[in-house]
Amino acid sequence: MRVFNSPCVICVLSYKELLDEKLDGKMRLRYEKQRSGVSMKRRGTRLGFTMIELLVVIGIIGLLISMMLPAVQAAREAARRTDCANRMRQLALATHMHHNAVRYFPPARYESRPDAAPNQQCGLETPTWLVRVMPFLEQVSLAEKWDLSKPWHEHGEQVRTVVPDVFLCPSRRSGTSPIGIRRLRTTVTGEGGRLPCGCPIPARPRSVSMNVKGALCDYAGNHGDLTPGATGDPTDFYFGGNGTGVIISVRPNCKNGNAISPADRIRMASVSDGTSSTFLFGEKFVPLNKLEQFPFDSPAYDGDHLPASCRLAGPGLRLANGPRDVLADMFSFGSWHPGGAHFALVDGSVRFYSSQTDTMVLGSMANRRDARVVEMVP
């Protein structure tokens, strides 16, 4: 290494070092400014989304919603199904309390046989069994407004259009008005008569309105099976005392032209097949496009139209497979729950039966005394 001791050389070297330091400082400052500008520009480009990115995000959100929606609907239906079963338990308990109070199950309606004596033909069109259980459902004030010896349609509209919530299935009646219209039957001249089935047509004054509003119900009593026949004979299931179920049509005891009590009484001892093997009532079938329309969805207090408050089961009347089943009958049981329908048994329990249940099994459980005991295995 060479060392210069001359003052001039030292001065030149000091000036050169100072100049280099200034140049380095300017270049460093310029570099930092350029770097800061690039960084600011890059940050600016991250403030938005491209169209492709936006579409991808929307697609992912839609896919997640489509995956969650069936689960949400299934959870809601499970809740409605549980609520339906609880309402049926309340109604079954009320039916038992009626039995404890008067020592027989509530009759579906009064219906004299065609061969009955004239003085024993009364009680036509009187209210159904649903009115009789009202006092045991904390509906005493409503029950007191009903006259069980008077035709249901002669009661005021403010009476016959009131329906307790326990009568309705939340899966079917959610968001709907539970009011139906019944067109009363009559002959051309307004006189009485009988249909080919033997069903009576009462005489009606011309002043009687033919269209009558009434409350609806989603549960129907077990009237039995078709073994008594349906040919128009006095022994048909349709007439009083002939039903093989538990809540059936009964013959009336008449006094001064009014029905005062049932002549046929189904008691707990009458269910010889066992209370855990016999239907008490169940959900009734109503097609999706027949809601609030006669004859499938008739006012529940209508004691003239049997399917309004009772249904049958067994060979010839299978359990409806949902609300879109076109092969089910207006006498069939069924529901709007996926896969089957609820039934309350005579012992007070509520069970869910598949729509694929064999009709022979259904018939045995609908008949209270056919000596065929059925035990359903889970």
Whether 110 is covered by a domain: the verdict is: yes
Residue in the structure block whose two tokens are 């959610």: 174
CA trace torsion 105, 110, 114, 120 (10° rounding):
100
Rounded distance, CA 89 to CA 289, Å?
28
Whether 184 is covered by a domain: the verdict is: yes
Kindly report, residue by residue over 160-207, the tens digit of the pLDDT.
999 999 999 999 987 667 999 988 765 555 555 665 555 666 666 555
> How many domains would you assign to the chain?
1
Kindly report, residue by residue over 261-293, the tens digit of the pLDDT.
999 999 999 999 999 999 999 999 999 999 999
Strands in 257-328 per DSSP E: 258-262, 279-283, 310-311
Rounded distance, CA 104 to CA 246, Å?
10
Q: Quickly count: other Cβ atoms within 10 Å of residue 283's Cβ.
A: 28
- Residues comprising the chain, all counted: 378
Whether 285 is covered by a domain: the verdict is: yes
Lowest mean pLDDT among 58-62, 315-319, 323-327, 364-368: 58-62
Task: Grade residue 13 by pLDDT with cuts at 50, 70 and 90.
Answer: very low
pLDDT: which is higher, 95 or 52: 95
Whether 187 is covered by a domain: the verdict is: yes
Whether 372 is covered by a domain: the verdict is: no
Q: Are 357 and 259 in contact (CB under 8 A)?
A: no
Q: Are 260 and 254 in contact (CB under 8 A)?
A: yes
Domain span at 241: 73-366
Whether 33 is covered by a domain: the verdict is: no
Whether 39 is covered by a domain: the verdict is: no
Rounded distance, CA 189 to CA 46, Å?
86
Lowest mean pLDDT among 38-42, 74-78, 95-99, 146-150: 38-42
Q: Are 162 and 214 in contact (CB under 8 A)?
A: no
Whether 320 is covered by a domain: the verdict is: yes
Q: Does the pTM exceed 0.85? A: no
Helix (H, G, I), strand (E, B) or coil at 211: strand
Q: Is the bond into 295 cis (omega within 30 degrees of 0)? A: yes
Residue in the structure block whose two tokens are 């309105």: 209
